[in-house]
Amino acid sequence: MMTDQTQQGGNNGGQGGSAGGQGAGDGQGSAAWYGEIPADRPAEFREWVGNKGFKDPLSALESYHNAEKLIGAPADQVIKLPKADDQAAWDQVWNRLGRPETPDAYELPLTEGDSGEFAKTAAGWFHKAGVPKAAAQSVAKAWNDHMVQLVTAQANEAKTKADGELAALKTEWGNDFDKNAEVGRRGLAEYGRKAGLDDADLNAVEQALGSGKMLRMFHTLGLTLGEHGFVAGEQGGGLGVSPQQARQKLDDARKQRIEGKLTESEFARLMDQYGPLAAKAA
């Protein structure tokens, strides 16, 4: 009997030893897998894995996968926002978001005739603010389009206003409009040349004032010139033409000026020559 009991107890002890051996094996296995992290990797890797309590590599991968789904993006697409006063860290953020290395790399679009000076200044603002290249180009294009529309609208408004003033002047002067307009243009040319203005300057004056205002103002000046005898031909001048013929010559000259066959200076010279006499035509 004792032999049987001893044998039975030995069997039970063997089973317990076996269970204890299995538990020891589990402990060694759970520690061994992250202990195999290469020595050239940071030591905190092992500490981090140990603190997390991952049983095996699959558990660690599952945790990483779940974290990525929670964040909504892979690690290389995640940006950690630095503190507000950490300029160096913010520079890295802006660079990752697409800010070019230097302001001149923005390559901002320009409108026709733009020297690019303002775009150069704006590129510096964009770079300092950390604006990505694509965003800066989009803003620059929107600004250019807005300015073109604004300038076009202002030009159309000015033209409409000038056309209205000219139409009102034609109504006011009636049949004398052509005669008075010739005197006005003669006044513009005479005073303009005395002031050193060229054809482009004279055209700019008319555009700035509008034809109606320009003709009204220089008509008065032209009459003043005629009263003081500045124009040869005011007393006849040996032109050998009648007032009606002088007016016809100016009509022809005006058509040639419109067609580009006469320069502003040539037209002004003819106005000087025939304008006072043509003004006397009925």
**pLDDT tens-place string over residues 138-167:** 999 999 999 999 999 999 998 999 999 999
Residue 276 vs residue 19, higher pLDDT: 276
Please compute the mean of the pLDDT values over residues 265-274 and round it to a whole number: 81
In a domain, 2, yes or no: no
Q: For position 93, what pLDDT does the model report?
A: 74
In a domain, 270, yes or no: yes
Q: For position 230, what pLDDT does the model report?
A: 41
**pLDDT tens-place string over residues 90-144:** 788 778 888 999 999 999 999 988 899 999 999 999 999 889 999 999 999 999 9
Please compute the mean of the pLDDT values over residues 64-90 and round it to a whole number: 71
Cα dihedral 267/269/271/274 (nearest 10)? -130
In a domain, 27, yes or no: no
In a domain, 220, yes or no: yes
**pLDDT tens-place string over residues 57-67:** 888 888 777 77
In a domain, 259, yes or no: yes
**Three-state secondary structure of the chain:** CHHHHHHHHHHHHHHHHHHHHHHHHHHHHHHHHHHCCCCCCCCHHHHHHHHHCCCCHHHHHHHHHHHHHHHCCCHHHCCCCCCCCCHHHHHHHHHHHCCCCCHHHCCCCCCCCCCCHHHHHHHHHHHHHCCCHHHHHHHHHHHHHHHHHHHHHHHHHHHHHHHHHHHHHHHHHHHHHHHHHHHHHHHHHHHHHHCCCCHHHHHHHHHHHCHHHHHHHHHHHHHHHHHCCCCCCCCCCCCCCCHHHHHHHHHHHHHHHHCCCCCHHHHHHHHHHHHHHHCCCC
**pLDDT tens-place string over residues 178-201:** 888 888 887 888 788 888 888 888
Categorize the per-residue pLDDT at 73 as very low, low, confident or very high, splitting at 50, 70 and 90. low
Q: For position 248, what pLDDT does the model report?
A: 86
Please compute the mean of the pLDDT values over residues 249-262 and round it to a whole number: 84
Q: For position 47, what pLDDT does the model report?
A: 79
Number of domains in the chain: 1
Q: Percent of the chain having pLDDT more than 90? A: 24
Residue 173 vs residue 43, higher pLDDT: 173
Q: For position 199, what pLDDT does the model report?
A: 86
Categorize the per-residue pLDDT at 6 as very low, low, confident or very high, splitting at 50, 70 and 90. very low
User: Most distant CA pair in the chain: distance in Å?
Assistant: 166
- pLDDT score of 53 more than 90: no
In a domain, 183, yes or no: yes
**pLDDT tens-place string over residues 201-254:** 888 888 888 999 999 888 877 666 554 444 443 443 434 567 788 888 888 888
Domain that holds residue 210: 175-278
In a domain, 116, yes or no: no
